[in-house]
Structure 1
């Protein structure tokens, strides 16, 4: 016990003599004393080594030029390793004084008495020691979390944009911190004319770049996205953001040595502070008004690519992630260009859509896709992680979806068996939820206009994600339909009123959804032609004839065998036929469709003849229906442009 007190005396003396120059007494936040760790006695070799370690970390000769120091003393089993990390904005002098204080505070207050492993968190620093090797080692045990209790007073749309910006900025800062020699990044980002986002992300500099990035990404993934500030601290790294400046840009935080200097420095600062308080006190009303009328990033009515500006990525980073767009990373090719698999340094896998310089999708379509997807967040919609617009390069970076697109499985005889009816039924429901979100639950009504099997991606659990919003159109809150002179999309999935007259609405997507459901049930392409009773049919017409003949189950993919519920699959066919009815008013809404799919007790209307109906030779020409012969192409390329009649 005497050795404990002698150690305390030594460090207390050094602390008293040094606090004249320290910035302030650091605020203690938390400790981590593992209950499974071993203990030591006051006369043990381990304790002697611990004293030596503390002396080394607090020595006047120890430099804190990088805000970090570490040391190892002794040999196993009495070896002790330790480190001290100072917040990155503070000067070396302040860091040294904080180290002295933290060591004295740890010993004097016996925060982890006699334990051979401990972590201590302070407002501006962290102290660790252990009988294990903790140097250059990524450690997640001993987390500390602190959220600012003040929630953000934004409306739902502003809060969504705040979350997108915060997540993007913190992830970017994590990469920049991992790339720096000090494993540190400090940033300020303007949210709007009256608010700024402040953040610090920092690792212990002994970590490798990859370990630092992994640690910071873990922090970012656990930070709250709804409050006005928060921090997440691991023994190996920490991340914090606030809506006020909590760090010292000047890194000058030492107290003056004399009373005269105190007067010269403190008084002007105090006066400025008081002036700030007075001005701020007379402006609260105006500030609140600005928050109510001003958006978080840009005007909510402006469909500008600046809406997603915080998601912009550097071309070189994307090029490196895809190994310079190598063929081995190529996932596929569409009408607009190539899609590659990419892996960023933090091991996050992405899908990189690189638009062809000669593709039909120009800057307008590109900006449209960025604007649309940046505003969306739903588990059945693919997430946009970033974009690049440099020179002739137009690149979209999406979350990586492991199982490619639905058509890859649906129309391949070898792959069809991997999609049994249970999975296909789940996919139908997921797509319906995604489209319903676009039509009804997102901030603005969004018409996809190119819903097809190739634009439904499947994740590792075969959950569907609607993708490819290059053709999407955004409607205002009270807008339900529109006309266009440029019809784009994929024939076979287009509704009659859109393909012929350029008229589109939510019911246009409903028609495409109905076609998609028929393809999912049958495993057949709508663009292909089928013969029945001597007549040529597309999939919609073929299904209608089976339904009219009372044999709808002949449509079912043979790969199901007997592993499906006849009443469920018949109901899905029924719903699909309601979706592809020629008359727009007869088609149900997506909200009604989802209810039909999930509630078997809801009765279904009798479907009417579908649009794009192929007449047989024995059918009368005067019958209601739109002939497809003159206008429908069997080519399913996704950038068709025709002049509507």
Structure 2
């Protein structure tokens, strides 16, 4: 097998320690000495270790790649990886900001250690890494990316079913000029087949329309990982093969003649395992230096800018390897000097432009208004939040730009605008059939589920509505605009009080609008309103009257009570073949907009109800804002009103 390519990318949590740092470091030294020996003697090259007493206990695990059959090489990989930890176990700091959690992916082994019990089921899910090859797929993009996805799905399923190693490799031929694509998937062997499959599928779910077009990539969870490349990066024959032109598994490997005939296929240069990334943290500076490791990896670690709120500096910790800080001149060039012809929308926080970098990547550029001090708060919030959030149903933040008064966010460009552009227009609504609307509803639900439960940061969006749900080229929904999002205390899921109430009238839960009580159920309420708007084609806060009611919620409840719910549905969705599913969607939506937050389901419940046609759903009670206008005339008196990407943002004071 080829010499190991060293990749050292890590996730840290820093906590202040004094003398106790020596204790934790001493415990880490013991683990660093024992774990390599234990993994060398393990038949599946997997080992865990626990040493010390709380609060200085060290929990660690190590896993060698399934194709690394040499016991000595496996142990040496773990030993060398420990030497890269900041600080190494050999160097103890008596007074420092000391790292108590680290995660290293060093092919062909993975090491994780923490002061938290990452060995317990479900713990350590926030320790996530990804790397993407900086080169895009060329040729028939849809065919090739589709085959790559098919390969990854097959490899993941194969790995989950392979005992005892939970390891699989594969290869696919696109039957075009594109080279063979090789894949690998692996879980820690202590996982069951079901848990392994769930872990790997969770990683696959993070691939979005941007990352799916890279010709190589890697994703690492603490318990599972996968990788694919346009070159063979593992030892031995692939365990599965896709594509009719490939011989069955076990047949001789195709010769290099096919590959050599392509002049753009560059031989991979091996990077020594000794390559490392050094991070220095002191009390006097908060710089983080991120080094590129190898030609196929990009890691943008941090940048500094003056914080207009009065803090000395703003540091962005971009764990996402595709997050970058762009030069203003490059963004200016991409948008044709922010020309009106490139303008996509405008609001109180600034203007959004379409742009294109010279290498061909299309982008959406949000240029914050220079006079908006509050806009900078949202800018900072969005950078720090969404750079750490990655899901197929969330808009991907590619980077930012901060230069003097310029504050700019750069997103992936989505050509089909926002959901409101379709559902509230009689002509454009005809472009969306029932199956597409169901996919949009389910996609938004999955995006919120990720924010509330599965993301590294537990996040409440606070401003979910159709104009903040963007649609990609295949009409897949992506939740956008995280400027108002808030990290919530997972120990208090039923409510966190806040003095600053922000959002949009008609979508804000009553307990939040009136009392400032914020919880995950606030987003659930907004989701219910969005579903009713999708089904009816009516705005909840519009100027048109709904039957005897001015707001959509009261109208929907009256029709539900009178068993005339079909009258709520837009005429384009009336066919009887959808009647059962339509009724279930209305039922779910009404449960989401209940007056009391405790009566609303959680997003896991909602996803389960949307997936199952047989799951029993409880009957809703009278919804919030029943027979009350939610429009501007009778809304709470706002202190400030502005817009982001044509969305209304209302900032109010709780009563």
TM-score, normalised by the number of residues in structure 1: 0.55
Distance 1:635 1:231, change over 3 A: closer
Matched, 1:149 2:108: yes
Matched residue, 2:216? 222
Q: Equivalent of 1:371, from 377, 380, 384? A: 384
Matched residue, 1:398? 411
Report how many residues are paired: 394
Matched residue, 1:447? 460
Distance 1:560 1:238, change over 3 A: farther
Matching of residues 60-209 of structure 1 within 5 Å: 148-151=107-110, 153=112, 160=128, 162-163=129-130, 166-167=131-132, 171=134
1:539-567 per-position Cα deviation (integer Å, ceiling 9, x unaligned) = 11111111111101111111335275011
1:53-82 per-position Cα deviation (integer Å, ceiling 9, x unaligned) = xxxxxxxxxxxxxxxxxxxxxxxxxxxxxx
Query: Aligned with 2:554: secondary structure?
Result: helix
Query: Aligned with 2:399: secondary structure?
Result: strand
Query: Does the 8 Å contact 2:216/2:228 carry over to 1?
Result: no
Gaps of 5+ in 2: 5-105, 119-123, 136-210, 232-261, 277-299, 303-312
Query: Does the 8 Å contact 1:491/1:635 carry over to 2?
Result: no
Distance 1:420 1:225, change over 3 A: closer
Q: Equivalent of 1:610, from 617, 623, 626? A: 623
Which one has more relative contact order, counting CA pairs under 8 Å at least 6 apart? 2
Give the CA deviation at 1:479: 3.6
Distance 1:346 1:630, change over 3 A: closer
Give the CA deviation at 1:639: 2.1
Give the CA deviation at 1:631: 2.6
Matched, 1:644 2:654: yes
Matching of residues 317-396 of structure 1 within 5 Å: 317-359=330-372, 361-396=374-409
Please give the alpha-carbon distance, in whole angstroms, between the structure 1 residues aligned to 2:569 and 2:452. Answer: 29
Please give the alpha-carbon distance, in whole angstroms, between the structure 1 residues aligned to 2:275 and 2:213. Answer: 19
Query: Aligned with 1:536: secondary structure?
Result: coil
Please give the alpha-carbon distance, in whole angstroms, between the structure 1 residues aligned to 2:462 and 2:526. Answer: 8
Distance 1:229 1:433, change over 3 A: closer
Query: Does the 8 Å contact 1:355/1:361 carry over to 2?
Result: no
Q: Equivalent of 1:308, from 296, 303, 318? A: 318
Please give the alpha-carbon distance, in whole angstroms, between the structure 2 residues aligned to 1:393 and 1:437. Answer: 31
Distance 1:420 1:158, change over 3 A: closer
Please give the alpha-carbon distance, in whole angstroms, between the structure 1 residues aligned to 2:542 and 2:327. Answer: 42
Query: Does the 8 Å contact 1:341/1:350 carry over to 2?
Result: yes
1:499-520 per-position Cα deviation (integer Å, ceiling 9, x unaligned) = 1111110000000000000000
Gaps of 5+ in 1: 1-26, 30-146, 173-216, 248-295, 617-624
Matched residue, 1:176? none
Q: Equivalent of 1:522, from 536, 541, 561? A: 536
Please give the alpha-carbon distance, in whole angstroms, between the structure 2 residues aligned to 1:340 and 1:597. Answer: 35
Distance 1:615 1:402, change over 3 A: closer
Give the CA deviation at 1:578: 0.4
Please give the alpha-carbon distance, in whole angstroms, between the structure 2 residues aligned to 1:241 and 1:336. Answer: 47
TM-score, normalised by the number of residues in structure 2: 0.54
1:403-446 per-position Cα deviation (integer Å, ceiling 9, x unaligned) = 11101111112211111222111100000000000001112210
Please give the alpha-carbon distance, in whole angstroms, between the structure 2 residues aligned to 1:584 and 1:369. Answer: 27
1:598-638 per-position Cα deviation (integer Å, ceiling 9, x unaligned) = 1121111111111112169xxxxxxxx9x994538999953
Please give the alpha-carbon distance, in whole angstroms, between the structure 1 residues aligned to 2:525 and 2:545. Answer: 23
Query: Does the 8 Å contact 1:152/1:228 carry over to 2?
Result: no
Query: Does the 8 Å contact 2:500/2:651 carry over to 1?
Result: yes
Q: Equivalent of 2:496, from 482, 494, 500? A: 482
Query: Aligned with 2:470: secondary structure?
Result: strand
Query: Does the 8 Å contact 2:642/2:650 carry over to 1?
Result: no
Matching of residues 480-519 of structure 1 within 5 Å: 480=493, 481-519=495-533
